[in-house]
Chains A and B, each alone.
Chain A
Amino acid sequence: MSRDAVASTPSSIYLLRALVSALVMLGFSPGIQAQGDPQLADKPVSVESVPTKANEQVPLTQEIRLLVKAKGNGNSVRRVEARLPGGKKIYGDKDGLLKLPPSAAILKIELYKSGFEVLTLELAPGQSEQTVYLMPAAPSDSNEIVIRGEKPTEASRKTVTTEEAIRVAPGRDPAQIPRLLPGVQVNNFRTDIVIRGSPPNGSLYVIDDFQVPFIFHSFGNISVIPDQIVNDVAFSTGGFGPERGNVTGGVVNLRTKNEVPERSKTEFRVNIPIYSTIYHEQPVNDGKDYVAVSARRSYLDLLLPPILKKAGNMELTVFPLFGDEHIFYVHPIENGVVKVIGAHVYDGVKLILNSDLSTTADGKAKFDIQRSFELLGVEWKKELNQDWNVKVEPSLNHQTNSIDIVNNNIDIGLTSVAVYAEAARKLNGKDRIYVGTELSYGKANVKVLAPEQNPSDPFYNPQSAPQKKVEQVSPFIGEAVWVGGELNAGDLLVMPGLRGFRYSQLKAPGVDPRVNWRFQINNAYSFKGAVGQYSQTPEFSETSASFGNPNLNYIESRHYVLGLETVWSDLWISDVQGFYKTIKKTVQSDPIVKLDNDGDSFSTGMEFFVRRNLTERLFGWLAYTYSINRAREQQTQLYHNSQYDQSHVLNITGSYKYSALWTFGGRGLFRSGNTYNGVDYSVYNVNLNRYEPRQNFGTQLYNRREPAYYELNLYADREVLFDTWKLTWRFGVENLALKPQVQGVNYNYDYSKQEFVRSVPPVPYIEVRGIL
């Protein structure tokens, strides 16, 4: 449930009023002007001044000590330059302490430090130590690059740092970055992503090297870990190396920080109307380590029910819920680091409504869909010597999926112990070879109380078919080993890899060969490519004897990528790629064996990516993807549009820092409409008392397409600085468009009328973030 739903009600008016009130408050807010504000520059600032009579001679006593800190966070400002009368300069130390000579008269000085505004002080004689705060300066127009990220080696991998992500990502959330990059399709009703035509469950989500079942909450478009512990996002749309497997699409890797912060920090956020979060990080062990904890919780389940109480003829109660808690510990060691990550993530939705689907006397139907995962992982990474570095990462994992629909229940629990380990050795020059293993041992517990979908049942209807209770406990084992290398031959870098794997769900092991290459034509141009096989097991339940077919095979995908990277200047880079991907042996329904591997699909297209590197003022990019995605259920059929076909996807995103306190930004999305199955007519089923849609004979699946979709999201950030902490107000509006956009298709009871489901009007929001 998105915040869109709220905006359709008069409550949106209250939000607008709150927005106006907040703007008025900020505009007329007194006393928040920081020291060093240009408007105050000519006014003498006296810090704990001692009144003196004119011409009174005060005996010299002691030096004046100033502790210089940054306004807004209270961090010490190192090596600040103090200019005294007569041109003398004195510098502060690394702890921000500035020692000034004793003075018999009022001492007028100016403090200079790059990145801060000049501060003019008048210090009366006899003042002892005091603290002064420097105001951040307006961003420079020098276009100096703030971050020059790592050079990606794999053909289709892109890395975005947290500093870059918070400038452009929805909700400043680094995990949302993949949605803005080429090769990705986004659906309004789906929080996961489709990468180059692969289904949502065809991609891998990892936090460092710990696999997680999902990376976005179902509601609110929030990622499952706090962005404060994220260092960067490494995103691959295909052609990745042998260290990742059991997926056919891409990999989203949220990589956490290694560095210990200098001081503690507490941050809270209040996002109206969706959620709140609190985060705290603390150096420990005499500053050698640090620990961070965070908690987030939505409150839509409290706000929505009274708003959505009446919907048509139904009494509708909605309880969307999401939240997470984390603990993160970093312990740097010599030439390495040890990290511990603990996470508890949950989300879901409950619906209670009057419905024809009800099986109880009160006529109410209850829907309850919940999911969660818990992770406890330890990373140990170390450079053993000049040649070798290793990492070992054991973890405990538990995940649950619970679906309760009108007294039909499906509960799946997975508990596992996993180890991810890799050792790398440098060879001659820049060459490198690495070997690794990924082991997972666990148990799946499946409980089902639901109508068995029996093809032989003549009048199968989940509403009234007899329920079958099945409980199944199944151990599972996943084992993978890989070897890879980075081999340089002049300007050519070749990265071969081989992954072997075996999963207990399937009888046979498998092998995936892969290779990436990069040829540096000159300083400006790099030619790159990748070819590889990527195998994936069917879903666990699909190979179950109770629910599926234990004789299924691996789903096999082959990736072919060619690309050209161009560095136009320090500020501008571009990346053009062509790709072709096949996915064979996809799982399809079968009337005899329930499921088989008879389906296949392919995806091909071009991606254009133009990026303006991050400077103090400006950052952003343009990402455009053109793709053709086709699928079929049987080898004898013709290909039809894929369920995940969005021919054109254009993302433009950017951020402009106007001043020290104001930042403006936005994102624009244009995409082709989603495909759907057109209904040509319907028939009345006398056994089930309902209408069933039909297509004309010979009509292919997903033969129709919704109208194109676009939206614009804009925001303005205003920082309010206090001495040791700051507030950041974000005023934003989402889903801006000239008219409500199509997000889906709806039909009446007999499919004789079709209408498009449209988005609601633009939704303003306010987010307050405090950092202490």
Chain B
Amino acid sequence: MRSMLQASLLILMLLNIACDGEEDRFERIAKLRGLGLQTSPVIAAPSTDTSPSQVEFTFYAAAPLGETVTATPYQDLQGSLRKVSVANFTVGEVSYEDHASLRIVKVKATGVVPPASTFYFDPDNGFATARFAISLVGQSNSQVMVGNLVIYPFGSSALTTKNNLPTINITNPIKDGTINGTEQEIKAELTEVNDETYRVGWFVSGGRLTARNKVSTTWTPTGAGKYTVIVTARGTKTSAFGIDVVDVTAN
């Protein structure tokens, strides 16, 4: 009950965080920011003596146009109480995908899941987790991205049934379309997989949203010009990740 009450108070305090000023809002990308992570496979099995369990990580971030980023592994000493980390975590290439107002940054990395003896598989839920973290350094700021990889033991059906990626597509506004500069609805179509619910997150290069975690919400641009709109979805149990990006022009 202490934790429930603390969570209650925390949520109430989060109201203050939500009350950001016009420019300093979560959904508005104005500097190097994390967007999410895609892993292949989505959930992994532990390594064996003969067969290391390799995982490929693709970190997604957004940055102002023209910003270059360097990436290195990072050790997050706080946060999760789980001590097991992804082994041999190696950061690979950094690639960029430029849009109308933002640059999408993709950072590849690889790692190896430690052996089963390293993990404590929760008897109620059947899984364990392994920690990873990466540091992105841009020209004006840096961004540490942390997370957990879900591990299921060998033979678990989840390795087959929960290893799919969702798809999410922005249906409004239309890609490369033209919009007016007033408040308008934006929508995405989400295909759920893995028998789990999803957390949706919107990001924009300018303006404000009324509810950034709703599949359908409203967006008010700041005026005429080009905008980039991003939507993400991540599974609440596997963190299976999907992303879509559109560019629009506001009159």
Given contacts A405-B11, A455-B81, A684 and B148 within 8 Å (CB-CB): no
Residues of B within 8 A of A403 (CB): 4-5, 8
Residues of B within 8 A of A357 (CB): 11, 14
**A453 and B7 contacting across the interface, CB-CB below 8 Å:** yes
**B79 and A406 contacting across the interface, CB-CB below 8 Å:** no
Residues of B within 8 A of A681 (CB): 144
Residues of A within 8 A of B79 (CB): 683, 685, 692, 694
Say whether A140 faces chain B, with CB atoms less than 8 Å apart: no
Count CB-based A-B contacts (< 8 Å). Answer: 162
Minimum CB–CB distance from A470 to chain B (whole Å) comes to 11
Stretch at the interface among A107-115, A178-186, A727-735, A744-752: A744-752
Residues of B within 8 A of A688 (CB): 199
Say whether B108 faces chain A, with CB atoms less than 8 Å apart: no
Stretch at the interface among A145-153, A587-595, A664-672, A760-768: A587-595
Q: Mark A342-353, 1 if CB is under 8 A from B, else 0.
A: 000000000101
Stretch at the interface among B46-54, B65-73, B121-129, B155-163: B121-129
Minimum CB–CB distance from A285 to chain B (whole Å) comes to 46
Which residue on B lies nearest to A697, using beta carbons? B77
Complex Cα–Cα for A685 and B201 (A):
13
Residues of B within 8 A of A313 (CB): 208, 210
Complex Cα–Cα for A595 and B201 (A):
34
Which residue of A358, A458, A749 contacts B214 across the interface (Cβ within 8 Å)? A358
Interface residues of A in 671-691 (CB under 8 A from B): 681-689
Which residue on A lies nearest to B239, using beta carbons? A687
Say whether B112 faces chain A, with CB atoms less than 8 Å apart: no
Q: Mark B96-139, 1 if CB is under 8 A from A, else 0.
A: 00000000000000000000000000101101110001000000
Q: Mark B219-251, 1 if CB is under 8 A from A, else 0.
A: 000000000000010101101010000000000
Residues of A within 8 A of B93 (CB): none
Which residue of B17, B18, B25, B236 contacts A459 across the interface (Cβ within 8 Å)? B236
Minimum CB–CB distance from A702 to chain B (whole Å) comes to 15
**A448 and B76 contacting across the interface, CB-CB below 8 Å:** no
Given contacts A356-B213, A541-B2, A458 and B129 within 8 Å (CB-CB): yes
Minimum CB–CB distance from A153 to chain B (whole Å) comes to 36
Listed A/B pairs (29) with beta-carbon separation below 8 Å: A314-B18, A356-B212, A357-B11, A363-B211, A369-B8, A403-B4, A403-B5, A405-B7, A410-B1, A453-B3, A456-B127, A458-B129, A459-B239, A462-B7, A464-B197, A539-B2, A541-B2, A548-B1, A591-B81, A686-B146, A686-B241, A687-B147, A687-B239, A692-B79, A695-B78, A747-B16, A749-B20, A749-B25, A750-B26
Which residue of A358, A458, A540 contacts B211 across the interface (Cβ within 8 Å)? A358
Complex Cα–Cα for A353 and B2 (A):
25
Complex Cα–Cα for A555 and B122 (A):
31
Say whether B40 faces chain A, with CB atoms less than 8 Å apart: no
Q: Mark A394-425, 1 if CB is under 8 A from B, else 0.
A: 00000000010110001010000000000000
Q: Mark A442-472, 1 if CB is under 8 A from B, else 0.
A: 0000101010011111110111110000000
Which residue on A lies nearest to B198, using beta carbons? A464
Residues of A within 8 A of B122 (CB): 454, 456
Residues of A within 8 A of B206 (CB): none
Q: Interface extent on B, as a size class?
A: 35 or more
Complex Cα–Cα for A450 and B7 (A):
11
Given contacts A312-B19, A686-B59, A363 and B76 within 8 Å (CB-CB): no
Say whether A547 faces chain B, with CB atoms less than 8 Å apart: yes
Say whether A367 faces chain B, with CB atoms less than 8 Å apart: yes
Which residue on B lies nearest to A540, using beta carbons? B1
Minimum CB–CB distance from B73 to chain A (whole Å) comes to 14
Given contacts A461-B236, A539-B1, A355 and B77 within 8 Å (CB-CB): no
**B146 and A463 contacting across the interface, CB-CB below 8 Å:** no
Residues of A within 8 A of B236 (CB): 459, 461, 464-465
Complex Cα–Cα for A358 and B15 (A):
12
Which residue on A lies nearest to B123, using beta carbons? A456
Which residue of A455, A464, A539, A748 contacts B17 across the interface (Cβ within 8 Å)? A748
Say whether B64 faces chain A, with CB atoms less than 8 Å apart: no
**A687 and B148 contacting across the interface, CB-CB below 8 Å:** yes
A453, A457, A544 — which one has the most chain B CB atoms within 10 A of its CB? A457
Say whether B145 faces chain A, with CB atoms less than 8 Å apart: yes
Residues of A within 8 A of B208 (CB): 313
Please give the residue numbers on chain A whose beta carbons come within 8 Å of chain B beta carbons, in ascending order.
Answer: 311-314, 351, 353-358, 361, 363, 367, 369, 403, 405-406, 410, 412, 446, 448, 450, 453-459, 461-465, 539-542, 544, 547-548, 587, 589, 591, 595, 681-689, 692, 694-695, 697, 746-750, 753, 757
Residues of A within 8 A of B237 (CB): 458-459
**B24 and A458 contacting across the interface, CB-CB below 8 Å:** no
Residues of A within 8 A of B76 (CB): 683
Complex Cα–Cα for A446 and B5 (A):
14
Residues of B within 8 A of A459 (CB): 148, 236-237, 239
Minimum CB–CB distance from A389 to chain B (whole Å) comes to 41
Residues of B within 8 A of A747 (CB): 16-17
Residues of B within 8 A of A746 (CB): 16-17
Say whether B190 faces chain A, with CB atoms less than 8 Å apart: no
Residues of B within 8 A of A753 (CB): 24
Which residue on B lies nearest to A747, using beta carbons? B17
Residues of A within 8 A of B146 (CB): 683-686, 692
Which residue on A lies nearest to B151, using beta carbons? A458
B3, B24, B76, B125 — which one has the most chain A CB atoms within 10 A of its CB? B3
Say whether B184 faces chain A, with CB atoms less than 8 Å apart: no
**A354 and B2 contacting across the interface, CB-CB below 8 Å:** no
Residues of B within 8 A of A461 (CB): 199, 236
Complex Cα–Cα for A749 and B14 (A):
9
**B125 and A589 contacting across the interface, CB-CB below 8 Å:** no
Complex Cα–Cα for A578 and B12 (A):
38
**B217 and A363 contacting across the interface, CB-CB below 8 Å:** yes
Which residue on B lies nearest to A404, using beta carbons? B8
**A453 and B210 contacting across the interface, CB-CB below 8 Å:** no
Complex Cα–Cα for A224 and B36 (A):
50
Which residue on A lies nearest to B61, using beta carbons? A684
Which residue on A lies nearest to B78, using beta carbons? A694
Residues of B within 8 A of A750 (CB): 26, 33
Complex Cα–Cα for A385 and B5 (A):
51
Complex Cα–Cα for A311 and B76 (A):
37
Which residue on B lies nearest to A751, using beta carbons? B17
Residues of A within 8 A of B212 (CB): 356
Complex Cα–Cα for A358 and B25 (A):
17
Which residue on A lies nearest to B241, using beta carbons? A686
Minimum CB–CB distance from B123 to chain A (whole Å) comes to 9
The 5 A-B residue pairs with the shortest CB-CB distance, nearest first, are A541-B1, A684-B34, A456-B122, A686-B37, A363-B211
**A749 and B36 contacting across the interface, CB-CB below 8 Å:** no
Complex Cα–Cα for A33 and B45 (A):
91
Minimum CB–CB distance from A106 to chain B (whole Å) comes to 74
A446, A450, A695 — which one has the most chain B CB atoms within 10 A of its CB? A450
Say whether B91 faces chain A, with CB atoms less than 8 Å apart: no
**B18 and A355 contacting across the interface, CB-CB below 8 Å:** yes
Residues of A within 8 A of B179 (CB): none
Residues of B within 8 A of A692 (CB): 79, 146
Residues of B within 8 A of A463 (CB): 199, 213
Minimum CB–CB distance from B241 to chain A (whole Å) comes to 8
Complex Cα–Cα for A278 and B151 (A):
64
**A356 and B18 contacting across the interface, CB-CB below 8 Å:** yes
Which residue on A lies nearest to B129, using beta carbons? A458
Residues of B within 8 A of A689 (CB): 36, 199, 201, 213, 232, 234
Complex Cα–Cα for A541 and B5 (A):
11
**A749 and B4 contacting across the interface, CB-CB below 8 Å:** no
Which residue of B3, B24, B211, B239 contacts A749 across the interface (Cβ within 8 Å)? B24
**B211 and A448 contacting across the interface, CB-CB below 8 Å:** no
**A367 and B129 contacting across the interface, CB-CB below 8 Å:** no
Residues of A within 8 A of B94 (CB): none
Minimum CB–CB distance from A474 to chain B (whole Å) comes to 12
Complex Cα–Cα for A662 and B25 (A):
53
Minimum CB–CB distance from A164 to chain B (whole Å) comes to 36
**B147 and A356 contacting across the interface, CB-CB below 8 Å:** no
**B125 and A314 contacting across the interface, CB-CB below 8 Å:** no
